[in-house]
Structure 1
Amino acid sequence: MSSAANFDPVNVTRILFEGFPTFAIVLFYLAGVGAMAAFAWGVYVQVRKYRRGKPVGGPIDLRERVGAMVRVVLSHRTIARRDPAAGRAHRFIFYGFAGLFLGTATVTVDYDITARFLGFHFWNGNFYLFFKLAMNLAGLSLVGGLIYMMVRRGWIKPPKLDYTRPDRKPGDPDYDRSGYRREDWAFLWSLVLIGITGFVLSGLRLVWLQDRAVVWDTRWWSPVAALLAEIMRGAGLSAPAAYVLRTGLWWVHGALALTFIALIPYTKVKHIFTASGSLLMRDPLAAQRLPKVEADAPRAGYKTITDFTWKHLLNLDACTKCGRCHEACPARAVGAPLSPRDVILSLREFANEALEKNTLPDEVKLDVHGKDIGQVFMETVWSCRTCMACVEICPVAVEHVPIIVQLRRNLVEDGNMEPQVQKTLQAIHKNGNSFNESKRKRAAWTKSLPFPVKDARKEPVDLLWFVGDYASFDPRNQRVTQAFATLLHDTEVDFGLLFEGEANAGNDVRRVGEEGLYEVLATQNIATLGTSQFRRIVTTDPHSYNTIRNEYPDFGGHFEIEHYTSLVARMLAEGRLRPKRKLGYRVTFHDPCHLGRFNKGYDAPRQIIEALGCELVEMKRSRDNSFCCGAGGGRIWMNDPVGQEKPSQNRMKEAASIEGLEVFVVCCPKDLTMFEDALKTSGYEGRFVVRELIELIAESLVDVNDDAPPADDIRVTADA
């Protein structure tokens, strides 16, 4: 490469608009102003749309959020998760686009500001040469990433990029989503053409000015353009012909670039801004801690599109249609009429149609519930398990679950729910539990224990055990509950219960959408806990764990709580609990949604399994990618369609693929119920067994040489 020192530094530059008459330059600036005006109007329309939503409650600390957003955007870690190839390609596109944008801004500052008004010209000399190299590399990065994305969509065709809707039938007016595919391809082609025409323009300029040493001798600072220039010269292209081609292509390139800018607010391109805004407003506890219904709210939840907060309207526009939520959704995987992506896209289409107009339609036309175009079906809303798989994997922080729960709240308020759900909610309201049993029976399982259990309402305890409905009333789970009580007693833990003072914690009641009942339950439990004397809470129910930990503080209930797996893992590490024998089973472990994704409780159960001497074989979908049992969001109180696969059956199929599997381990009462039933109905009974981790712990505490074998209800055998 030649050095700028061989020339007058002022001359080592590129003369903008060289060879263009004045009228052409004026025309370009007018077109640029028009593009910016179109862009500005589009931004105004979008901001007006968001302002038509409800305000976001509570203070927003932007200082911390800005840093988190910048880190996510620059690292691309959310895009690369579970799809590293797409993450790499998007990094190439992002950094290439950002580099070219900064380069264009640099030229504008030099030409239109410093040189014109300050008499200071810095876009020359060595700075210019390194600038050329950086722009070539940025352009190469952009085009390379875009070409991979084209190959991905055109030939690789991952299923998650199929826009077929599970909530519509062929022939429905809004079933066809081919418009999105056309938009995707238009986006890719426009950027690719902008990048390629930019390279070709640079090459043509080099051929045109090949007799100018300051241009030709520094050509390899633009390696891609220089290579194209060599090819053009080798093909016989003359300098005059290069000038003519360059003039025509310059207008094509300029028109593409200005059109791209003008259309940003109206097309997929706006995700550059909306995705960043969504990440900026990201609530790390969005699904774990649902918002309260304000006392003065005219209605509960979302009925019309104007009931949405501006943040959720922004979420709708942030969606990039990447399909990760679609791929992760357990309801969609088993054929339910739900795809989180399609819910968001339907609501986006509805919002654009209703809120981008100068005048809002009447309220009837703003209703998002129903069967009309763009509306969300009631069956779709009730198919959600609120497992948080969609929220957890979304690279741009869309809050699918909170939005769906808000839709449910309005349906519940209007009585639009399955009769069984309504019956269960009535039972919880009457007796404080979903089994419709008398409150006095909540601790009936303690009567068969050979030791007394303290009533924490009457005497102080170190550990208060919040048991939960299924662990208290379900006969199969009661055996597990008794085993855990025995473990606590034998390790001399000072524990107690609330007995009939405990009520359903309300986690699933809230996710069904019955906010009023949830607040009654939460307030009642907080009051009971407040009059009891204890140091901390333990629970064997991840659902209770989540709401007491994350949601009760909003109602004044601040308690130290942990899931039993954390307690047992600590006891094992400290030597307070010592297994008497290694079990030696080949096991797999299912991460409960409310312990795993909701509260990051991945390690403690695995530490216990290891301490018990079991061989753990992970399923493909584990930890943050764990599949849902299907019980969450109140679905355990609803009947699944006859003949349709259940999420729990789908999970059994996955576990059955593990060679030599003996035990499918769970640590949630609802998981035990769902998976034991699925083991029978899916045809795998006899190949392996489903056991609560507590049962394995209890078995490990029985010495192999003891005369008395472990009880049948907590013993696992390979041929069970």
Structure 2
Amino acid sequence: MSDPAGGVLFGLPARGVLWLVALAAITVFLRRVIGCARLLARARPEARWDRIPARLKRFAWEVLLQRKLLEEPVIGAAHLLIFWAFVFYAASFFWNLARGLLPFLPIPYADQAPWMAVALEVFGLLGLIALAAAAIRRYLFPPPRLEQTLDAGLILVLIAVVLLSSLVGAGAAGLTHGERGGWHWIADLAATALGSTGLERSQAARLNIAMWWVHMITVLGFLAYIPYSKHLHLLASPFGVLFGSLKPPMPAASEGADRLEEFTWRQLFSGLACAECGRCDRACPALNSGFPLSPKMLMHQVKELVRASLTTAADARGLLGERVKPEQIWACMTCLACIQRCPVSNEHIPVLVELRRRLMAQGALEARLQEALTKLARYGNSFGQSARNRPKWTQPLEFRIKDARKEPVSWLWFTGDYASYDPRLQPVTRAAARLFQRAGLDFGILYEAEQNSGNDARRAGEEGLFEALMEKNLAAFAKARFERIVTGDPHSLHALKHEYRWPNGPVAVLHYSELLCQLIRAGKLPLAKRLSGAVTYHDPCYLGRYNGIYAAPREVLRALGLRLIEMPRHGSRSYCCGAGGGRIWMEDVPGIRERPAESRVREAAATGAGLLAVSCPKDLIMFQDALKTTGLEAKLVVKDISQLVEEAMIP
């Protein structure tokens, strides 16, 4: 191919035209990108530069290999091919741009380098096939909540033009100079196809140059357009993954946020990185139950907040009000499904927690939630009961549980509010105590000194109350003598393990399912019989997605002889019971289709197991109530795994 930038274009020096178009496109591109960067610089700082090796590893898995997108295999594979076609074609574009603008560079054009030419041909063809699959899926078989927009269609057309112009140009070059053979079979096929139309060699040479210009102008237009479209995520999402939280994200203490400068830069960046693919919506238990929350629209509104601030000197409107309603903010169950499913590591929950903190500061919360938080502040528990009543569940036991404040113990059992106060759960708590006793475990409790862990208060937006509860518990821990902590409440597990500021360094905290698993393995809980029948197991959000504990409860159930039947949504895709994020203290909004717990027990009953095993006190309450409202009491029984272990120990 002769130098395509060395001739005349529309009566003007072609290289001069390329300079003008390139400068214009790059100026438009940089103006928007720099504007976004300046706005992010106005936001609150947030350190995301730690653990570089771990960040690079995740970048490789989730950006280069598209692991999360491949959870939906067909469209994931198509996206992977389009991504790598994009990578090679972007490299080719900048290579050609440099060579076209600076003819003195001692390098050929990209398609004149044999290895690059082959890569462009292969990824061009694969990219077109994948693009066709993506278009068929989008327009003929769209998944729920995937919006059909002109912007999305335009992007598909632009990508198709970029790929087709390159392949047609390669075919024209082959027709001009003769087929290359070998690895260039795609270009040779294109050349044969063009030749069959009667295209002459001189015409093919002109077509080759024309396709080069179509390709370059389209990519430059694409470059200028991307920052202004929803496909800004093409630029932002790799950085979103790189600087995403390496653990379940929780915003640092603040007075909450509403306006742009009150959020952290990473919270705002989630809006810019959002592809609006709808995966978060499809996973959200609140939205799927009929609550007014859409995680995707939340990210869209964050993006709109940034965009509005780019076009006006100062956008007086924040997120609260017209953009995001209070009822949407309170609908979140903090189950982490949205973040876990997001392929670009967007962080929806921190944004919602910031908004809840602001609503909390304004006193804009419902009466039941206010009542529960008041009880937490006054009594240290959401039941509003005296601290002296906390250990009363121990009274029917035939043995005394040690007071860890007075006697040294190996294991400190943090029982939690519901396990201590709720009459429906106290038998479960006593069953666990008997198991620990029979295993010869050296354990104790804090008696009346224990307070609520504060996990749900924090996620409801009451940061000050969380701090107060944490300080009281840390003071009680300081007076106790213990080596490790065990708890049956996944919410408390997460707070104690990941969010408490232990003065002498982290303390080992286990969920009781992990401890029971260890005791059974060690033969310290000899089973007198094998339980018969089938069981299905519900993964609690704060045990599974938040803490990655999936195997231990299942190992316990299998050790009992039960046949495990998994629900369709299990493991990291488990469906929330609806209690988290303080929702257990709130009224259901009018007009919801079905509470998450009701949907979950229907799913459990559909397995035919007849027994639903749980390992979270809130799950037991939510599912027992749901059995009554769904009329499934005759088809399904809900039991805690500690109850099942104790049953297996009785001859």
Fold agreement, TM-score > 0.5: yes
Contact 1:583 1:613 in 2 (8 A): yes
- In the alignment, structure 1 residue 334 sits paired with structure 2 residue 289: yes
- In the alignment, structure 1 residue 303 sits paired with structure 2 residue 303: no
SS of the residue 1:596 aligns to:
coil
Deviations 1:364-408 (A, max 9, x none): x232111x2xx1010000000001111111111111111111110
Distance across 1 between alignment mates of 2:153 and 2:107: 40
Out of 256, 270, 279, the position equivalent to 2:232 is: 270
Distance across 2 between alignment mates of 1:662 and 1:543: 27
Contact 2:166 2:211 in 1 (8 A): no
Q: Could you tell me the TM-score, scaled by structure 1's length?
A: 0.86
Which residue in the other structure is 2:215 paired with?
Answer: 253
Deviations 1:522-557 (A, max 9, x none): 011011101100111111111111100010037777
- In the alignment, structure 1 residue 159 sits paired with structure 2 residue 144: yes
Distance across 2 between alignment mates of 1:201 and 1:311: 42
Which residue in the other structure is 1:190 paired with?
Answer: 158
Distance across 2 between alignment mates of 1:252 and 1:681: 63
Distance across 1 between alignment mates of 2:92 and 2:506: 52
Q: How does 1:341-352 map to 2 (within 5 A)?
A: 341-352=296-307
How far the C-alpha of 1:108 sits from its partner, in A, is: 4.6
One-letter identity of the residue aligned with 1:292:
A
Deviations 1:554-586 (A, max 9, x none): 777732110000001001111111111001121
- In the alignment, structure 1 residue 385 sits paired with structure 2 residue 333: yes
Contact 1:286 1:399 in 2 (8 A): no
Contact 1:526 1:557 in 2 (8 A): no
How far the C-alpha of 1:323 sits from its partner, in A, is: 1.2
How far the C-alpha of 1:65 sits from its partner, in A, is: 2.4
- In the alignment, structure 1 residue 201 sits paired with structure 2 residue 169: yes
Deviations 1:14-73 (A, max 9, x none): 644466466133212211121111112121111112112111158645454244323431
One-letter identity of the residue aligned with 1:104:
F
Deviations 1:146-201 (A, max 9, x none): 1111111011211142x4xxxxxxxxxxxxxx6xx211111111101111122223
CA 1:557 to 1:304, structure 2 compared with 1: closer, same or farther past 3 Å?
Answer: farther
Distance across 1 between alignment mates of 2:19 and 2:306: 34
- In the alignment, structure 1 residue 433 sits paired with structure 2 residue 423: no
- In the alignment, structure 1 residue 69 sits paired with structure 2 residue 29: no
SS of the residue 2:311 aligns to:
coil
Contact 1:53 1:310 in 2 (8 A): yes
How far the C-alpha of 1:121 sits from its partner, in A, is: 4.3
Deviations 1:402-455 (A, max 9, x none): 111111011111111110000110011111100001110000011111111111
Which residue in the other structure is 2:597 paired with?
Answer: 648
Distance across 2 between alignment mates of 1:251 and 1:99: 18
Which residue in the other structure is 1:129 paired with?
Answer: 114
Out of 35, 40, 44, the position equivalent to 1:45 is: 35
CA 1:160 to 1:84, structure 2 compared with 1: closer, same or farther past 3 Å?
Answer: farther
Which residue in the other structure is 2:347 paired with?
Answer: 399
What is the percentage of aligned positions where both structures have the same residue? Answer: 36
How far the C-alpha of 1:630 sits from its partner, in A, is: 0.5
Which residue in the other structure is 2:575 paired with?
Answer: 627
CA 1:124 to 1:250, structure 2 compared with 1: closer, same or farther past 3 Å?
Answer: closer
Which residue in the other structure is 2:78 paired with?
Answer: 89
How far the C-alpha of 1:221 sits from its partner, in A, is: 5.2
Q: How does 1:698-709 map to 2 (within 5 A)?
A: 698-703=646-651
CA 1:555 to 1:367, structure 2 compared with 1: closer, same or farther past 3 Å?
Answer: farther
Contact 1:347 1:376 in 2 (8 A): no
Distance across 2 between alignment mates of 1:324 and 1:496: 44
One-letter identity of the residue aligned with 2:336:
M
Deviations 1:503-528 (A, max 9, x none): 00101010111000110000110111
Which residue in the other structure is 1:356 paired with?
Answer: 310
Out of 346, 355, 360, the position equivalent to 1:412 is: 360
Contact 1:326 1:340 in 2 (8 A): yes
Distance across 2 between alignment mates of 1:563 and 1:69: 31
Distance across 1 between alignment mates of 2:192 and 2:462: 71
Which residue in the other structure is 1:584 paired with?
Answer: 532
Which residue in the other structure is 1:718 paired with?
Answer: none
CA 1:676 to 1:89, structure 2 compared with 1: closer, same or farther past 3 Å?
Answer: same
SS of the residue 1:283 aligns to:
coil
SS of the residue 1:572 aligns to:
helix
One-letter identity of the residue aligned with 1:580:
A
Distance across 2 between alignment mates of 1:396 and 1:58: 15
Distance across 2 between alignment mates of 1:329 and 1:252: 43
Distance across 2 between alignment mates of 1:556 and 1:425: 29
Contact 1:48 1:356 in 2 (8 A): no
- In the alignment, structure 1 residue 315 sits paired with structure 2 residue 270: yes
SS of the residue 1:376 aligns to:
coil
SS of the residue 1:553 aligns to:
coil
Identify which range, 70-79 or 242-251, moves more after superposition. 242-251
Distance across 1 between alignment mates of 2:187 and 2:56: 38
- In the alignment, structure 1 residue 116 sits paired with structure 2 residue 108: no
Out of 667, 674, 680, the position equivalent to 2:622 is: 674
- In the alignment, structure 1 residue 140 sits paired with structure 2 residue 130: no
Contact 1:523 1:555 in 2 (8 A): no
SS of the residue 2:501 aligns to:
helix
Distance across 1 between alignment mates of 2:501 and 2:279: 32
After superposition, the CA RMSD in angstroms is 2.2
CA 1:29 to 1:582, structure 2 compared with 1: closer, same or farther past 3 Å?
Answer: same
- In the alignment, structure 1 residue 286 sits paired with structure 2 residue 248: yes
Distance across 1 between alignment mates of 2:502 and 2:4: 60
- In the alignment, structure 1 residue 421 sits paired with structure 2 residue 381: no
Out of 82, 98, 101, the position equivalent to 2:87 is: 98
Distance across 1 between alignment mates of 2:76 and 2:263: 31
Q: How does 1:465-476 map to 2 (within 5 A)?
A: 465-476=413-424
Q: How does 1:425-464 map to 2 (within 5 A)?
A: 425-464=373-412
SS of the residue 1:77 aligns to:
coil
One-letter identity of the residue aligned with 1:139:
G
CA 1:286 to 1:366, structure 2 compared with 1: closer, same or farther past 3 Å?
Answer: farther
Deviations 1:91-140 (A, max 9, x none): 10111111122233344555656x615xx446699x73333222211211
Contact 1:324 1:394 in 2 (8 A): yes
Contact 1:582 1:612 in 2 (8 A): yes
SS of the residue 1:496 aligns to:
strand
Contact 1:663 1:690 in 2 (8 A): yes
Contact 1:463 1:496 in 2 (8 A): yes
CA 1:111 to 1:376, structure 2 compared with 1: closer, same or farther past 3 Å?
Answer: closer
Instruction: Give the number of the structure whose alpha-carbon radius of gyration is greater.
Output: 1
Out of 582, 606, 610, the position equivalent to 1:662 is: 610
Distance across 2 between alignment mates of 1:14 and 1:481: 82
CA 1:683 to 1:642, structure 2 compared with 1: closer, same or farther past 3 Å?
Answer: farther
Deviations 1:304-340 (A, max 9, x none): 2221111111111111111111111011111110111
Ranges in structure 1 where 5+ consecutive residues have no aligned partner: 1-12, 164-177, 210-214, 295-299, 704-720
Distance across 1 between alignment mates of 2:77 and 2:460: 39
CA 1:435 to 1:143, structure 2 compared with 1: closer, same or farther past 3 Å?
Answer: same
Identify which range, 378-387 or 129-138, moves more after superposition. 129-138
Contact 1:54 1:309 in 2 (8 A): yes
Distance across 1 between alignment mates of 2:289 and 2:523: 44
Distance across 2 between alignment mates of 1:52 and 1:18: 45
Distance across 2 between alignment mates of 1:156 and 1:505: 46
One-letter identity of the residue aligned with 1:37:
T
Q: How does 1:450-599 map to 2 (within 5 A)?
A: 450-553=398-501, 558-599=506-547
